[in-house]
Copies of this chain bind each other. A is one copy, B any other.
């Protein structure tokens, strides 16, 4: 018997409750039955976003919401400051190019967060910039960018702060209204535990103001059309009905646990994962570790790709390695979504076994013990 365990930062494991809910007979989307579910989902999303704005729902994966954050708020030839600190930050630049937006790219060394002062400087040098685009959690590096500080910077300018929280929403506090985030986009297949295919976006008054003059072409991802429709608990186009049902269930689970407890759980797992890895003598890759994931440099002589493959083949444990610049160098521990303390023991235990198998000199059990002490409040 080989038990398969998905321990990746998206897709994340789908809670049984969600699977059962989504397996129910499908309802028609133009019906009062669907509208009742959608109304509850809209309310739940606003609660999770901590916003008074409409949180719009799209049938798409996260990149669709990233596209929506460009085409709905910018004009052709506009300037945008984009934070490029990894594979997902890089995508902003590609989007800008595709839509004729002039991107001022703030390159961060992989593993490093952007400095708020660098964004401030870029906005000073490019006062015409309409927006700052950044990830809350850059999934390719496990870096948390300082969103709150960035919001304080953009608040003093005409630029909006656009935050990709695809792998962050629900794993860490991102109170949209309180912090002054202007566009907050996310997706269902990370902390919310849904299969991929549903994405979200909310906009501040400042961003809706930009929307009025935005002239980039858009149709499927038109936020204005969706807002008009979704305020009536309908979507402009056919919604991903089963995922909306699953989202209703996922939000119910969040409500039952309580938002503070959800964030505390993620923070607790993150702390234990870091303690475990450090106790094995390993080096953390991210200089600004995120509550959503822990990225770790493989020890000298160990190819992280080989480790990841070995863990799946030998033990059915699915981790992910590094992408692009970090390929072969790092592995990534997910603690994002339907994970708890004991899942961290599994992942740390698997990493210990895998490293041992591949001949790395680590002390078996040391990572687990450190995690246990961390959970118990000792480390």
Contacts and interface: CB of A to CB of B under 8 A. Distances in A.
Nearest to A245: B195
A268 B4 CA distance: 45
A145 interface: no
A60 B62 contact: no
Interface in A235-249: 236-243
A216 interface: yes
Interface residues of A, number: 54
A37 to B, nearest CB: 13
11 contacts: A6-B25, A11-B28, A11-B29, A11-B241, A14-B25, A28-B320, A67-B219, A195-B242, A197-B241, A197-B242, A220-B221
Interface string A7-46: 0101101100001101101111111000000000000000
Contacts of A241: 11, 189, 195-197
Contacts of A6: 25-28
In the complex, the count of this chain's copies comes to 2
A237 B91 CA distance: 11
A59 interface: yes
Given A11-B241, A60-B64, A240-B240, A23 B25 contact: no
A173 to B, nearest CB: 25
